[in-house]
Amino acid sequence: MESRIRSIFLTTAVTATFLSLGASNAWAQDSEAAPEVIDPAVERRDIDVAAIDTEDFEVTAFFGLMSVEDFESGGVYGARLGYHISESFFAEASFGATKVGTSSFEKLGGGAELLSNRDLTYYDLSLGYNLFPGEVFVGSKRAMNSVVYLVGGLGSTNFAEDNHFTINVGFGVKVLPTDYVAISLEVRDYMFDIDITGENKTTHNLQGTLNISYFF
Amino acid sequence: MRGLWLVIGFFLLSASAGAEDDVQFVVVADPYIELHTGPGTGYPITQIIERGEEVGILKRRTDWFKVRSPAGHEGWANRTQMELTLQPSGKATEFPSAGRDAFDERTWEWGVLAGDFGGATTYAGYGSYRFSRHLAVEVNASQILGNFSDGWAVSANIVHTFVPEWRASPFFSLGTGMIHIEPKAALAQTQDRDDQTAIVGVGISSYLSRRFIVRLEYKSYVVLSSRNENEDVEEWKAGFAVFF
């Protein structure tokens, strides 16, 4: 008798469990089939113009040769910061340094020294113009953007223990292997007045450099 | 040397990674936009992106945008063409350009001037912060290159612009600073001098185009020297500035 009652209870319990499982299943299927009211598409919003990466500044390291009138040629190095105002114009500030050699007067004069300090440093503020934009082709598969530019400006040269008002003019050829790295070859003439050799004259000091720059 | 290469490598990596992160998309609304190989009118057009296609904006240089087409082509499009695209919300895209409106709302101004300081050549650089339509604070640094002496001067000024709306707009400035004068070694009685200055100035500044301002100014310096008499020096300068 006892075992019979137990089996009735068990059957009831099992049936109830099955029924409830079935019901919950059916309910789950119902909810899955329900139509979506809200479309979870990506949020439509305006673009953030300020977040666009702008690359109008250019930082440059350069090295090369500078010929200082009457004082031989020597290695020159320096740095430059540029700002691209438009596709054609750019402004830049440069700083350069070199060590001058001996003048022929000093060599022939037998020990007479014209300079106690042989360092020459200069800075300038210049404006540049991108004259001929174009491309250079390396082999048959690669083209790189290039530009021929003109540059000129004002500055100051510290040489022979004095500061000299300096005008510079020059040109260069710039090649861009990527959008943000540029390599250029540049020639500039730094002109200033000096009277160290006995007469006051305008000297032309030509500088040829290899420049490597990075846009940011 | 290895350190230098590491730094260069890091810069290259960070630049390329940065470019990928923040690509934003607009849709071409004009029949097509043209892609140049470089950021300038002179570079050849090699691709176009047609109406209805998505354009990913990678970066900007001056008025040019480096963009990517759905097919993966990359090139540079001009701002005027990029403004013929629609944003995801359907609104026309607008890129603020450097113009008269931006000039009226400028806060920062950086410029270089050259001129005459009491008979000597002078260059000056200045930075200005405008905190109201009429008033700005300005920091000035100049180098003086004379026949008998060289030197430098620094000053801080308050600048008042009377009528900011005028194309050629007059201003008045009042400032104080330091001047260092170094007589040339060849002359007798060489002694370096550091003196305080009081400066009154007037000038005209005018919006030129894009981000350019042209500026002409006259300043009267009173050098408060340690000798019995103060010195008066007149300065004339002209130059350019860019604003942000």
Average pLDDT over residues A15-25: 53
**What's the burial of A95, exposed, middle or buried (CB within 10 Å: 0-12/13-18/19+)?**
middle
* Close Cβ partners of B58 (under 8 Å, ≥ 6 residues apart): A53, B19, B23, B65, B66, B67, B68, B74
Average pLDDT over residues A28-57: 67
DSSP character at residue A54: B
pLDDT digits (tens, 9 = 90+) for A127-136: 999 999 999 9
Q: How far is CA A67 from CA A72, A75, A150, B69, in A?
A: 6, 9, 20, 49
Cα–chain center distance at A25: 63
Q: How far is CA A198 from CA A120, A201, B107, in A?
A: 19, 9, 51
> Pick from B24, B114, B240: which is nearest to A48 by CB?
B24
Average pLDDT over residues A89-111: 88
pLDDT the model gives residue A28? 47
> Pick from A47, A54, A161: which is nearest to B185 by CB?
A161
Q: Which residues 162-191 on chain A approach chain B with CB closer than 8 angstroms?
A: 162-165, 176, 179-181
**CATH 2.40.160.20 for domain B102-243:** yes
Answer yes or no: do A86 and B63 touch at CB < 8 A.
Answer: yes
A133 CB neighbours in chain B (<8 A) are 38, 40, 42-43
pLDDT the model gives residue A195? 84
A52 CB neighbours in chain B (<8 A) are 22, 24, 57, 59-60, 65
Average pLDDT over residues A183-187: 96
Sign of CA dihedral A180, A185, A191, A194: positive
Query: What percent of chain A is modeled with pLDDT above 70?
Result: 79
Average pLDDT over residues A83-112: 87
Confidence of residue A174 (pLDDT cuts 50, 70, 90): very high
**CATH 2.40.160.20 for domain A49-215:** yes
Predicted TM-score of the model (pTM): 0.74
Q: Does A16 touch chain B (CB under 8 A)?
A: no
Q: How far is CA A31 from CA A27, A34, A53, B243, in A?
A: 6, 5, 46, 61
Asked whether the beta carbons of A46 and B91 are under 8 A apart, the reply is yes
Answer yes or no: do B40 and A56 touch at CB < 8 A.
Answer: no
Q: Which residues 78-97 on chain A approach chain B with CB closer than 8 angstroms?
A: 83-88, 91
| Of the candidate ranges A85-89, A114-118, B227-231, the one whose mean pLDDT is the lowest | B227-231
Chain B residue closest in CA terms to A45: B89
Domain boundaries, chain B: 19-95, 102-243
Q: Does A136 touch chain B (CB under 8 A)?
A: no
Q: Which amino acid is at B114?
A: A
pLDDT the model gives residue A3? 59
Q: Which of B195, B91, B105, B187 lies closest to B153, judged by CA?
A: B195
Chain A closest CA to B114's CA: distance in Å? 8
> Pick from A87, A162, A164: which is nearest to B62 by CB?
A87
pLDDT the model gives residue B18? 45
Q: What is the pLDDT along chain B (244 residues), one digit of tens a residue?
A: 555 555 555 455 444 444 455 788 888 888 888 999 999 988 999 888 988 888 888 999 988 999 998 888 899 999 888 888 888 888 888 887 767 788 888 899 999 899 999 889 898 999 999 999 999 999 999 999 887 888 899 999 999 999 888 888 999 999 999 999 888 765 556 667 889 999 999 999 999 877 889 999 999 999 988 777 888 999 999 998 988 8
Answer yes or no: do A135 and B37 touch at CB < 8 A.
Answer: yes
Asked whether the beta carbons of B239 and B208 are under 8 A apart, the reply is no
Asked whether the beta carbons of B32 and B51 are under 8 A apart, the reply is yes
Q: How far is CA A157 from CA A119, A124, A165, A194, B180, in A?
A: 11, 9, 7, 11, 18
Chain A residue closest in CA terms to B95: A49
pLDDT the model gives residue A58? 94
Q: What is the longest distance spanned by two Cα atoms in chain A?
A: 138
pLDDT the model gives residue A14? 57
Confidence of residue A107 (pLDDT cuts 50, 70, 90): confident
A41 has a pLDDT exceeding 70: no
Domain boundaries, chain A: 49-215
Answer yes or no: do A86 and B11 touch at CB < 8 A.
Answer: no
Q: How many pairs of residues across A and B have Cβ atoms under 8 Å apart?
A: 108
pLDDT the model gives residue B9? 53
Tell me if ipTM is over 0.85: no
Please state, in angstroms and rounded to a whole number, the distance separating the CA atoms of residues A137 and A145: 9
Answer yes or no: do A53 and B59 touch at CB < 8 A.
Answer: yes
A98 has a pLDDT exceeding 80: yes
| Of the candidate ranges A32-41, A196-205, B169-178, the one whose mean pLDDT is the lowest | A32-41
The domain B19-95 belongs to what CATH superfamily?
SH3 Domains (2.30.30.40)
pLDDT the model gives residue B21? 56
Q: Which helix (H) or strand (E) holds A139?
A: none
A109 has a pLDDT exceeding 80: no
Confidence of residue A43 (pLDDT cuts 50, 70, 90): low
